[in-house]
Amino acid sequence: MTRTPMRIASLLAAMVAAWQPSIALADNDDTQLWQFVFLTGDLDKDTRLTVDATQRWREDARGGEQQTLRVTLEQTVAEGVRIGAGGAVFDAGGNTELRPHQQIIFTEGRFEFRTRLEERFFDGADRMELRLRQRVQYNQPLGDGWRASVGGEWLGLLQGRNSGQGASTEQWRAQAGIAYKISDKLEIGANYWLLAFPRGGLPARYTHVPQTVLTYRF
């Protein structure tokens, strides 16, 4: 193992170890822990299936613990271009969100650009919420089975779930992570996400999200 991946791994491990849900870093901050599991593989040379599930530990003030399950099917339509669609179920304390989505992904070298449109159906909402997500990510091989990634994402509401709620920026995300390939099928990793929620004239609210990731490729 080289020094660079060792240092990055140590940094991310320290961030995960520092997770303390009972202590807010500031009045507008909270900290959550998300655990991801991915199952992904090629159905044929141009078609990929991905199933992911998460357990999200959150404060009661942020909706309580949440469980998610998502399925995405992608098709390669040109070199460096994939289109896909799928759906997800999000559950927190008996409150359920159904979330179909459509997306297109462009890959150029080590950069990946994703545009995703989500239709969000909430229990008791006035109407469907429509959200657009724009993400850019850079992936850097580190050698000896290690890789790192950094990225950012904008999430904007085109239509809110409540009547009269129009377009707005819902949140910004910044992320960094490291992963280690144990075998051709199994990979483990750790990420840190910073989520920023604009609130008009009020100070933005921030959420710190250390994550663990387990990926199995069939």
Q: Which CATH number covers residue 183?
A: 2.40.160.40
The tens digit of pLDDT for each residue in 42-101 reads: 999 999 999 999 999 999 988 899 999 999 999 999 999 999 999 999 999 889 999 999
- Specify the pLDDT at position 7: 56
- Specify the pLDDT at position 201: 86
Is 100 within a domain?
Answer: yes
Largest CA distance in the chain: 55
If one counts the domains in the chain, the total is: 1
* Average of per-residue pLDDT across 157-166: 92
Residue 5, Ramachandran bin (φ over 0: left; ψ between -120 and 50: alpha; else beta): alpha
User: Is the pLDDT confidence value at 164 over 90?
Assistant: no
* Element containing residue 111 per DSSP (H, E): strand 111-122
Per-residue CA distances from 113 to 89, 124, 131, 139 (Å): 24, 34, 17, 12
Is 110 within a domain?
Answer: yes
Is 200 within a domain?
Answer: yes
Its domain, for residue 140, covers 3-20+68-217
What is the CB neighbour count within 10 angstroms for residue 141? Answer: 11
Is 46 within a domain?
Answer: no
Is 151 within a domain?
Answer: yes
User: Is the pLDDT confidence value at 196 over 60?
Assistant: yes
